[in-house]
Amino acid sequence: MNERWLKLLRTGALAVAVIGLLLVVLSPAISEPLSPGTLWWIEPVAYVGAGIFMIGAIVTLTAIRLESRRKAADRDTRSWSQVTQDYFDTFAHDMGRPLRRILGKQREVRALLNETGEPTPRMVAELLDEIEQQAPNFRLMIENVRVLVNLEDQNAKPAVEPVDAAAIIRNISDRYRPIARDRGLDLIWWSEPGEFGLVYGDASALDHVVTNLVDNATKFANEHIEVRLTRNDAHFLVRVWDDGNGIAESHLAHIFDRGWTPELSARSEKQSSGLGLYIASSLSLRCGGQLVVESQHRNGGDSKDHHTMFTLSLPLDNRPVAAQ
């Protein structure tokens, strides 16, 4: 039973108990018109009143106990989540330290090699590129686990703040354009209208969902990736489109399942954790929106229409009605 129903039950039971008590107290006054002068009805009215009072009181006490148990459980869950989050942040920071050192060293070596003006040996260049390209993967992996911990907390609520959605999409495009370029892909984005304005929602969640979608697109696109930001009267939409080979219809039903990857159905080695789209979908729902996918699979033919398009839809204003 949820919090709202428990509160209703407690209020209702308290009202019943009060009615029972009133029947007991007012039994002489009630019995007088029923049997003038004899007071015969006093006892039945008082007994019925006492019975109603007892039932009301028992239900009220039970509801209060259930409510307090629930609050204690919530406190436990919250503190568990906070402790986990704290541990994870420390872990992520400490994990990041060696990676920052490796990344920094790689950039220094690259700069020194560039200064010499000599051509860089192919294997060295590939190694340096590989280190640089793994940095965004690491960033996303750490973020995915942080969000996963947060999603486990049933009481966690999305932030509601003024968000420059176009700036977030622009930043993601800037982050992934070099990666896309290295993979021979062209990543473009745009917003309609051009001056998109502010929306009210969770900036981190928006950033995280779209980052997962764009990261996914860079893995499956053949040549082009498009990210488009639009709005209607109540929602804003982010569409991430790629011209990859599409998703088979039998896979579409599982695409947002936790841990599912295309390799699972092919019984081959997993190339990813299968968490990104699950997290993106769960986070979208938590923020009052939804994430849907539409895809045209190549099916081994020459169809030029093959593509995949994820559409994220979130409320333009997620503030409580009173605050709007």
- β-bridge mates for residue 296, sequence order: 307
Interface of this chain with another protein, residues 222 to 281, rule: CB under 8 A: 224, 226
Query: Which of helix, strand or coil describes residue 183?
Result: coil
When asked if residue 177 is in the footprint of another protein (CB under 8 A), the reply is yes
Region of residue 157 (phi > 0: left; psi between -120 and 50: alpha; otherwise: beta): beta
When asked if residue 319 is in the footprint of another protein (CB under 8 A), the reply is no
When asked if residue 204 is in the footprint of another protein (CB under 8 A), the reply is yes
Neighbours of 163 (CB within 10 A): 22
Neighbours of 130 (CB within 10 A): 10
Minimum CB–partner distance for residue 216 and another protein (Å): 17
Stretch that binds another protein, among 28-36, 51-59, 182-190, 291-299 (CB under 8 A): 182-190
- β-bridge mates for residue 292, sequence order: 311
Minimum CB–partner distance for residue 76 and another protein (Å): 19
- Count residues near another protein (CB under 8 A): 43
Region of residue 184 (phi > 0: left; psi between -120 and 50: alpha; otherwise: beta): left
Minimum CB–partner distance for residue 100 and another protein (Å): 5
Q: How far apart are CA 289 and CA 237, in angstroms?
A: 10
Minimum CB–partner distance for residue 323 and another protein (Å): 15
Helices (H), the chain: 3-25, 27-34, 42-116, 122-152, 165-182, 203-220, 249-252, 262-266, 276-286
When asked if residue 174 is in the footprint of another protein (CB under 8 A), the reply is yes
Minimum CB–partner distance for residue 231 and another protein (Å): 12
62, 77, 171, 222: residue in contact with another protein (rule CB under 8 A)? 171
- What's the length of the chain? 324
Q: How far apart are CA 291 and CA 281, in angstroms?
A: 6
Minimum CB–partner distance for residue 302 and another protein (Å): 19
Interface of this chain with another protein, residues 86 to 145, rule: CB under 8 A: 89, 92-93, 96, 99-101, 103-105, 107-108, 111, 132, 135-136, 138-139, 143
Q: Which two tokens stand for residue 96?
A: 């990041």
Cα angle vertex 48, ends 42, 54, to 5°? 130
187, 199, 209, 314: residue in contact with another protein (rule CB under 8 A)? 187
Cα angle vertex 36, ends 34, 40, to 5°? 70
Minimum CB–partner distance for residue 206 and another protein (Å): 11
Q: Which two tokens stand for residue 270?
A: 């997993």
When asked if residue 192 is in the footprint of another protein (CB under 8 A), the reply is yes
Stretch that binds another protein, among 169-177, 264-272, 277-285, 294-302 (CB under 8 A): 169-177
Residue whose C-alpha is closest to residue 168's, from 96, 236, 256:
236
Q: Which is nearer to another protein, 7 or 219 (CB)?
A: 219
Minimum CB–partner distance for residue 213 and another protein (Å): 15
Q: List residues binding another protein (CB under 8 A).
A: 85, 89, 92-93, 96, 99-101, 103-105, 107-108, 111, 132, 135-136, 138-139, 143, 146, 159, 161, 167, 170-171, 173-175, 177-178, 187-190, 192-194, 204, 207-208, 224, 226
